[in-house]
Structure formats: C-alpha cells, structure tokens
Amino acid sequence: MYAVVVSGGKQYRVSEGSTLVVDRVAAEVGSSVSLDQVLLLGGGDAVRVGTPNVAGAAVSATVVSHDKGAKTEGMRYLHRQRRRKQKNGRASLSVLKIDAISG
C-alpha cells in the first residue's frame, strides 16, 4: 500500500517501512507524528483519490533524526556600485520512518 501525503507544502509518495526527508517537524526524536493530509491512497486494485484529502486516511511516522541540508550559496553583484552581497543558508530537515498507512 502506498499514499501521497503533504508535508511542508510538498507532496511525497510513501509506503510502509520507507524513510522520508522533509522540512523540520516540531517533534522530538523518537516521537510519533501523524500526517493527516493524504491526497491519494493506492495499492492492490483500488485507488482512492481525495478531493482534496481522502476522508479518514492518515499516515503515522516516527521521527528518526533532525539534520541540516546542504549549504546553499547565492551572490548578487550590483555592477555600477561595485558592491557584492552574499546569502548563505542551510535547510533544517527531519528524517521520518513511515510506520503505518490507515484509511
């Protein structure tokens, strides 16, 4: 069985036992998280599509760790003023392990 869920404004296709890297989730490491925005449930013969969400469906996951993503660098150059501006950053990420898909 698989599902398409929304987390942090992005859509992910998940199945039981898989790991998922999403934007930071406000939960402690080892705690359980429920992803309620399920857009599609599939597996076997039937596929259920929500409008926009599938009623009564949920995905439960466990927070494995909190990490930081790769460093991103951006530079802007103002040519007539001989000025340079740098922007750097790293995304805060969470690793989730999918336990069960219900619905």
pTM of the predicted structure, to 2 decimals: 0.81
What are the CB-based long-range contacts (under 8 Å, 24+) for 45-49? 48/103
Instruction: Answer whether residue 46 shows pLDDT above 90.
Output: no
pLDDT per position as a tens digit, 67-80: 999 999 999 998 88
Q: Which two tokens stand for residue 54?
A: 């599938």
Q: What is the pLDDT of residues 2-44, one digit of tens each?
A: 999 999 999 999 999 999 999 999 999 999 999 999 999 998 7
pLDDT of residue 5: 96
Check residue 60 and give its pLDDT. 96
Q: Where are the domains of the chain?
A: 2-102
- Kindly report the average pLDDT of the chain as a whole number: 93
